[in-house]
Chain A
Amino acid sequence: MSLLGNLLSRRGKSEIGPLEYHRRLWLRVTVALTLIFLYMPILTLIAFSFNDSKRNVVWRGFTFKYYEKAMNNSELIEAFVNSLTIAFVSTIVSVILGALTAYVLWRFRFPFRAAYEGAMALPVVIPEICMGVALMVFFLRTGFNTGGWVWPFNLSAITIAHIAFSFPFAAIVIRARLESFNTELSESAKDLGASEYQVFKDIIVPHMKPGLIAGALLAFTLSLDDFVITFFTSGPNTLTFPVKIYSMVRFSVTPEVNAASTILIVITVIITALALRLQNRNNMLQAG
């Protein structure tokens, strides 16, 4: 509250300069209201996951019981494990494919390069629903029905779909990192007799590393957050976390869903914080 008061007050300060728009009251009020609009729902969701009441509106005291309940919901746990598995595999493959894409586009000149670059950007820009239905039809028509396979292979179709939309994102992040590479390094290595593969493995990949990590974190959150494409590519027997939450949400608003959502929010916030931290360190290294 004092923060908000501080934000809104102009006491004890000199007169507002012509360009000090951020100190004008109405702008501060707009910013505060916007942030309240953005955060209020999420924060109430988190707060009410600890609320000791089924009706979920009135505060009746602090409890962990809905976390316990969520933990004992075997379907929820299964969905959670499935989603983490998908995210994990998808991240590894996406980073490898993304790194190769970034490398090709960064290093080589080849025919139809611009068209190739455009095609690689397509998964980033087309509406999720279009990609979702296309993959659903594709898996059904090619008979690639992995839903009946043994775990974890029953997740293959979803994982493949996640890789298809994640690796172009990873490629963008990794390519941005490659731009700062000093090509004299690889040239001198080659002069000194290193093979292409050695240059890639010992010079380019180490330079890419922060980009690889940032790309991995991005791919992981993308996979964990995706609902639409998972919804279309998962068979009736495959449970994933967003799809499970979706069916619970359709049913009713319960503190159990709040608890499960809070867990997912905490995981994504931690991963995002890590990514931002890494990026910051990167920028500082580049600046220094």
Chain B
Amino acid sequence: MDNWRKSPGAFWASFIPPTLWLLAFFLAPLSLIWAFSFGVKTGITEIDITWTFQQYARALEPLYLSIFAKSLWMAGVTTFICLIVAFPVAIAIVFAPPKARMWLLLLVILPFWTNLLIRTYALIAVLRTRGHVNFTLEWVWENANGFLIFIGLGNFNLIGERFEPLALLYNNTAVVVGLVYVALPFMVLPLYAALDRLDRSFIEASLDLGAGHIRTFWSVVVPLALPGIASGIVITFIPTLGSYLTPDLLGGTDSQMIANVIERQFKSANDWPFGAALSFLLMYATFFGLALRALLTKREGMGDRV
């Protein structure tokens, strides 16, 4: 690496354009809403920046606190489900033959590149009252009912008089399903990376010395893959916590997350200072998660050296 003073011309020519763009169209907008978050609304569009903490205090009101808690809970449940599902998948990929491994990885990553909106829409089509899941269930119900009538039990309404479609959409479960659907690849990749680095002779030794597969998993694989697990948890949790589209399209009136509240402050409620404060709280939560991850991966680096 050269000192920039050695060729200042080349340095400034390549330094200035991206820096200006970042300053003007990223840091300036963020600073603007950061300043707004310390202001109060005095008119329809007027905002007085009085450096008050009032907006942050408002975020601690029970209503908003409960939405924060709910978002954390939904993101937590999503992350947990992703972890449970992704672990066996990552194990299967790591121990698969090289060619199959490449295809499996590709299959897991590919949905990443499909538009989030389209994926969410696809889920709506599957889950809605007249959707594919309910349609399949209805078909099963009709056949079961036909069978019951056939064996002479048709008059007892053993499985209900009519097929009742399940309400699979517009509730919290739908949001969690949608979030898992979106976030699963985020979890598989770091787990795969961690398990791939893991020295297999440890597993072999553990199995040779008489530990079963389950014991080996908990006492050898999990501790060794811990940095990868932590990394996966953080990078699944962060985007999930801030997701807007999934709760918006799949959730009901009571399944809003922070991002939906932020959106409302900036659009229909037109309360920018409060929305700005909420945005920054979400951002601080994100930074906290990232710092945690950096700390954990740093420790992992040290582990490698030992």
Please tell me if the beta carbons of B85 and A21 are within 8 angstroms of each other in the complex. Answer: no
Tell whether A108 pairs with B4 under 8 Å between CB atoms, given A137-B32, A242-B115: yes
Tell whether A31 pairs with B33 under 8 Å between CB atoms, given A108-B11, A129-B242, A265-B115: no
Please tell me if the beta carbons of B262 and A133 are within 8 angstroms of each other in the complex. Answer: yes
Bound-state Cα–Cα, A116 to B15, Å:
10
Bound-state Cα–Cα, A20 to B262, Å:
48
Please tell me if the beta carbons of B282 and A130 are within 8 angstroms of each other in the complex. Answer: yes
Please tell me if the beta carbons of B91 and A21 are within 8 angstroms of each other in the complex. Answer: yes
Decide if the interface of chain B is mainly helix, strand, loop or mixed: helix
Please tell me if the beta carbons of B4 and A135 are within 8 angstroms of each other in the complex. Answer: no
Please tell me if the beta carbons of A224 and B18 are within 8 angstroms of each other in the complex. Answer: no
Is B175 in contact with chain A by the CB < 8 A criterion? no
What is the 8 Å Cβ interface bit string for chain A, positions 182-203, against chain B (1 contact, 0 not)? 0000000000000011001000
- Contacting residues of chain B (264-283) with chain A, CB-CB under 8 angstroms: 266, 272, 275-276, 279-280, 282-283
Collect the chain B residues with CB atoms within 8 Å of residue A126's CB.
283, 286
Please tell me if the beta carbons of B1 and A134 are within 8 angstroms of each other in the complex. Answer: no
Residue in B closest to A130 when the chains form the complex, CB atoms: B279
Please tell me if the beta carbons of A167 and B18 are within 8 angstroms of each other in the complex. Answer: yes
- Determine which of B7, B93, B118 lies in contact with A196 in the assembled complex, contact meaning CB atoms within 8 Å: B7
Residue in A closest to B33 when the chains form the complex, CB atoms: A134
Collect the chain A residues with CB atoms within 8 Å of residue B114's CB.
42, 225, 265, 268-269
- Contacting residues of chain A (96-129) with chain B, CB-CB under 8 angstroms: 96-98, 100-101, 103-104, 106-110, 116, 119-120, 122-123, 125-129
Q: Give the size category of A's interface with B.
A: 35 or more
Please tell me if the beta carbons of A119 and B27 are within 8 angstroms of each other in the complex. Answer: yes
- Count B interface residues, CB 8 Å: 86
Please tell me if the beta carbons of B18 and A28 are within 8 angstroms of each other in the complex. Answer: no
Collect the chain B residues with CB atoms within 8 Å of residue A285's CB.
none
Collect the chain A residues with CB atoms within 8 Å of residue B59's CB.
none
Bound-state Cα–Cα, A138 to B32, Å:
7
Q: Which of A101, A161, A197: most chain B Cβ within 10 A? A: A101
Collect the chain B residues with CB atoms within 8 Å of residue A125's CB.
238, 286, 290
Kindly provide the distance from the CB of B176 to the nearest chain A CB, expressed in whole angstroms: 13
Please tell me if the beta carbons of B92 and A97 are within 8 angstroms of each other in the complex. Answer: no
Collect the chain B residues with CB atoms within 8 Å of residue A196's CB.
7, 9-10
Is B197 in contact with chain A by the CB < 8 A criterion? no
- Contacting residues of chain A (151-191) with chain B, CB-CB under 8 angstroms: 160-161, 163-164, 167, 171
Bound-state Cα–Cα, A253 to B129, Å:
12
Please tell me if the beta carbons of B111 and A42 are within 8 angstroms of each other in the complex. Answer: yes
Please tell me if the beta carbons of A228 and B245 are within 8 angstroms of each other in the complex. Answer: yes
Please tell me if the beta carbons of B29 and A137 are within 8 angstroms of each other in the complex. Answer: yes
Is B2 in contact with chain A by the CB < 8 A criterion? yes
Is B40 in contact with chain A by the CB < 8 A criterion? no
Kindly provide the distance from the CB of B44 to the nearest chain A CB, expressed in whole angstroms: 12
Kindly provide the distance from the CB of B238 to the nearest chain A CB, expressed in whole angstroms: 8
Please tell me if the beta carbons of A131 and B26 are within 8 angstroms of each other in the complex. Answer: yes
Bound-state Cα–Cα, A232 to B275, Å:
14
Bound-state Cα–Cα, A19 to B22, Å:
49
Please tell me if the beta carbons of A31 and B88 are within 8 angstroms of each other in the complex. Answer: yes
Residue in A closest to B239 when the chains form the complex, CB atoms: A127
Kindly provide the distance from the CB of B39 to the nearest chain A CB, expressed in whole angstroms: 12
Collect the chain A residues with CB atoms within 8 Å of residue B179's CB.
none
Is A81 in contact with chain B by the CB < 8 A criterion? no
Please tell me if the beta carbons of B111 and A31 are within 8 angstroms of each other in the complex. Answer: no
- Contacting residues of chain A (252-288) with chain B, CB-CB under 8 angstroms: 253, 257-258, 261, 264-265, 268-269, 271-272, 276
Kindly provide the distance from the CB of A46 to the nearest chain B CB, expressed in whole angstroms: 9
Collect the chain B residues with CB atoms within 8 Å of residue A62's CB.
none
18 contacts between A and B (CB under 8 A): A19-B204, A21-B94, A42-B118, A106-B1, A108-B11, A109-B2, A125-B238, A127-B239, A129-B259, A129-B263, A133-B275, A137-B33, A137-B266, A161-B25, A227-B116, A228-B245, A261-B115, A269-B110
Interface residues of B (CB under 8 A from A): 1-4, 7, 9-11, 14-15, 17-19, 21-22, 25-30, 32-33, 36, 85, 88-89, 91-97, 100, 104, 106-108, 110-111, 113-126, 128, 130-132, 135, 181, 184, 200, 203-204, 207, 238-239, 241-242, 244-245, 249, 259, 262-263, 266, 272, 275-276, 279-280, 282-283, 286, 290
Q: Taking A126-B286, A131-B26, A135-B25 as given, write out 20 further A-B residue pairs in contact, using a Cβ cutoff of 8 Å, ordered by the A residue number.
A: A18-B207, A21-B95, A30-B85, A30-B89, A38-B184, A58-B135, A104-B14, A106-B1, A125-B290, A127-B239, A128-B242, A129-B244, A130-B30, A130-B242, A130-B262, A245-B117, A246-B117, A258-B125, A269-B113, A272-B113
Q: Which 8 A-B pairs have the closest CB atoms?
A: A127-B242, A138-B29, A41-B122, A134-B29, A22-B96, A45-B122, A110-B4, A21-B95
